[in-house]
């Protein structure tokens, strides 16, 4: 199954279940607390807090999207089997339309029926400090799959958000397939202010995210994201003599650069422009150093008696 088929199946699945398909927003968010759009829910933040009306704007309390996203927090990890700076996030969202039961049922049905994948295990929030455990999600999972393995983890693993300095957040249930986390189901129950204080939202909301590259990896039965039909064709364009990790960094950064420029970012010494310039510099540096090392190795071999 190609990545384009995965996209279409995802959108069709949720459209058939009453979701309005919303186009991806720009990588440059309206939210001033972050440089880039880092998650699918970012364009929907006002709908969780009641600042915007989903019924008025979309004609539905439920939406789905495939969102362009950019993260640089793990930039030094790029080149391994799973980390990227640019990626696309498949997600379904609800602003009071449905809650945990439907969210978990949708995720299970899409993965196991539409994509024919087998779920290894799921994780839920075990509770921490004054935040209670998510026992409801565990009961729902076990009602669907009585013998499913459920891992209970703390806030660092199974509590998401907020994006930026403040915003909606809540416990999560993560789904693992072939050892990889493919889908994160976020149950937005709280609002986190700038001081880290949590308050219950007036209306709980759903926010899910599933990275297209990682999903394609398990659907296409590949060893890593760079073997999928999203990245392998680009990887083949890289010079053969370069080390695999160097080629991966160049491929990832080049794709990110292209999407940043297409959204209007220009190289500069501040904010988004600085990140773009840094990515461009890293591509050039990795390529230059790798080729210099190859030349040095070649020269040394020629001098051997």
Q: List, in sequence order, every residue forming a beta bridge with 175; answer none if it has no partner.
A: 122, 183
What stretch of H or E contains 287? helix 271-303
Residue 303 has pLDDT above 60, yes or no: no
Mean pLDDT of 89-113: 98
Residue 164: predicted pLDDT? 77
Domain ranges (residues) in the chain: 3-219, 238-300
pLDDT of residue 304: 46
Q: Which residues pair with 93 in a beta bridge?
A: 63, 207
Share of the chain above pLDDT 70, in %: 94
pLDDT band at 293 (very low <50, low <70, confident <90, very high): low
Q: Is 302 left (phi over 0), alpha (psi -120 to 50) or beta?
A: alpha
pLDDT by residue (tens digit) across 150-169? 999 999 999 998 877 888 99
pLDDT at 289 over 80: no
d(CA 97, CA 17): 12
10 Å CB burial of residue 221 (0-12, 13-18, 19+) is: exposed
Topology of domain 3-219, CATH: BirA Bifunctional Protein; domain 2 (3.30.930)
């Amino acid at each position: 199954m190609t990545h384009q088929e995965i996209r279409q199946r995802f959108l069709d699945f949720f459209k058939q279940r009453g979701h309005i398909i919303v186009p991806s927003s720009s990588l440059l968010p309206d939210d001033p607390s972050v440089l880039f759009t880092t998650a699918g829910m970012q364009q929907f933040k006002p709908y969780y807090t009641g600042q915007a009306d989903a019924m008025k704007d979309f004609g539905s309390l439920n939406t789905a999207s495939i969102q362009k996203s950019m993260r640089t927090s793990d930039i030094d990890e790029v080149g391994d089997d799973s980390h990227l700076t640019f990626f696309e996030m498949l997600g379904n969202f609800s602003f009071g339309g449905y809650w945990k039961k439907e969210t978990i049922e949708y995720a299970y049905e899409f993965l196991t029926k539409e994509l024919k994948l087998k779920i290894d295990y799921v994780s839920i929030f075990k509770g921490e400090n004054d935040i209670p455990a998510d026992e409801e999600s565990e009961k729902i999972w076990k009602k669907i799959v009585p013998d499913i393995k459920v891992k209970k983890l703390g806030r660092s693993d199974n509590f998401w958000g907020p994006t930026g300095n403040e915003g909606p957040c809540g416990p999560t249930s993560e789904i693992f397939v072939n050892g990889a986390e493919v889908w994160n189901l976020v149950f937005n129950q709280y609002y986190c202010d700038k001081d880290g204080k949590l308050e219950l939202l007036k209306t709980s909301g759903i926010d899910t995210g599933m990275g297209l590259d990682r999903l394609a990896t398990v659907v296409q039965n590949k060893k890593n994201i760079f073997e999928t039909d999203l990245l392998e064709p680009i990887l083949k364009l890289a010079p053969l003599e370069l080390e695999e990790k160097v080629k991966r960094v160049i491929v990832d950064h080049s794709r990110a650069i292209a999407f940043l420029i297409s959204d209007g970012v220009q190289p500069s010494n501040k904010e988004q422009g600085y990140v773009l310039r840094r990515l461009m510099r890293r591509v050039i540096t990795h390529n230059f150093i790798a080729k210099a090392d190859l030349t040095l190795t070649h020269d040394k071999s020629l001098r051997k008696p």
